[in-house]
Structure 1
Amino acid sequence: MRRRWNNLNRAVATLGAIAVISLSAAAQEAAKIDSLFDRLKKADPADAKRISADIRMEMSKSGSASMDLLLKRGREALEAGETDAAIEHFTALTDHAPDFAEGFHARSIAYARAELFGPAVADIERAISLRPRHFPAIYGLGAILEELGETDLAYEAYARVHSIHPHFEDVTTKLERLGNEVRGSEL
């Protein structure tokens, strides 16, 4: 009986150590991405491009080789124009990794390409709820809203992207163009 307690104590201690290590790794990852976002806000355009790529790379890490493979296969299917296959891969990913924001973002892109805007917006909402500074997802929301003629809301989405990533692709141009529509042209 005593031997069982010793084994149980070791097992509990081992599980506790694994939990502490996992939490520590998650905290380090969160601190790393927070640091990248802080640097992105202050970066010049050339540095912003590199930092943005680093952030995207960090956001694409699921922590599971299997989930990373589903993400990769879904992206490959999307690039090949196989939207239905991409949606299937991304759905498997979101089913198995419901806390992985990039899975929802990727599926939102596939849904948008299939002109399924309702599910696309729902997935963007989920991605943003998991990662509030997910600027590619917020940009995608702006693009969908713009496509649907919701210029006020699209402008707000692009402004949010700009506040996170001042040098993001053509967001400044979109803000200027939509700003004229939203506020009207000056005479």
Structure 2
Amino acid sequence: MLEELRRPDLPNWKNVEEALWSEWSKSGSAAMDLLLERGRAAIEAEDWGMAIAHLTALTDHAPGFAEGFNARALAYFKSGLFGPALDDLARALTLNPDHFAALMGLGTILEDTGRDAAALAAYRAARAIHPHDPDLEEAVNRLEPKVSGQAL
């Protein structure tokens, strides 16, 4: 699916993206999938503490499941805990180097903390995997003029 998503002439890219998210959301355990579901529901409800609790239980019991770390990184980020969010994004990307959302999250934190050149590199890496995401295109276009002349 990743190769298909990378195709520049992909009219149904949202379907491919959804199928990929579906695959990435399968831990191989019904109990762990339930923890992910509960963590995501807490994120949706903006209950960051509950999200972190559910997702920490998930990452403790399924340390090889990249999506658990990616989801918890979002909850940490929304809580203003950038350090733990960066740690979780690094873990998610170690487990799944093609996780374009984790790369985008990394770019967002780097940009929010004034590290524009590193953020641009993260956004470009994510866009290389998912060239259809308009948010990634906008992020790259926003940062390229700011970073011109800076070493990446």
Q: Which of 138, 144, 147 is 1:173 aligned to?
A: 138
Aligned to 1:158: 123
Deviation at 1:46, TM superposition (A): 3.2
1:147 partner letter: D
Q: Match of 1:57?
A: 22
- The aligned residue for residue 86 of structure 2 is 121
Determine what percentage of the aligned residue pairs are the same residue.
Answer: 49
Root-mean-square deviation (CA, aligned residues, Å) is 1.0
Length-normalised TM-score, structure 2: 0.95
Does the aligned pair in 2 maintain the 1:161–1:168 contact within 8 Å? no
What are the ranges of 5 or more consecutive residues in structure 1 without an aligned counterpart? 1-35
Contact 2:74–2:85 (Cα < 8 Å) also in 1: yes
Aligned partners of 2:13, 2:45: CA distance in 1, in Å?
Answer: 29
Q: Alpha-carbon deviations, 1:77-135, whole Å to 9, x = none?
A: 11111100000000000000000000000000000000000000000000000000000
The 1-side partners of 2:100 and 2:53 are apart by: 24
The structure showing larger relative contact order (alpha-carbon pairs under 8 Å, at least 6 residues apart) is 2
Q: Matches of 1:46 and 1:106 in 2, distance apart?
A: 28
Number of the residue aligned with 2:13: 48
Bigger Cα Rg? 1
Q: Distance in 2 between matches of 1:109 and 1:79?
A: 11
Paired residues in the alignment total: 149
- Given that residues 4 and 10 in structure 2 are in contact (C-alpha distance below 8 angstroms), is that contact kept between their aligned partners in structure 1? no
- What is the alpha-carbon distance in structure 2 between the residues aligned to residue 145 and residue 43 of structure 1? 27
Map of 1:140 onto structure 2: 105
Structure 1 stretches of 4+ with a deviation exceeding 3 A read 43-46
The answer to which structure has the higher helix fraction is 1
| Aligned-pair CA distance for 1:43 | 4.8
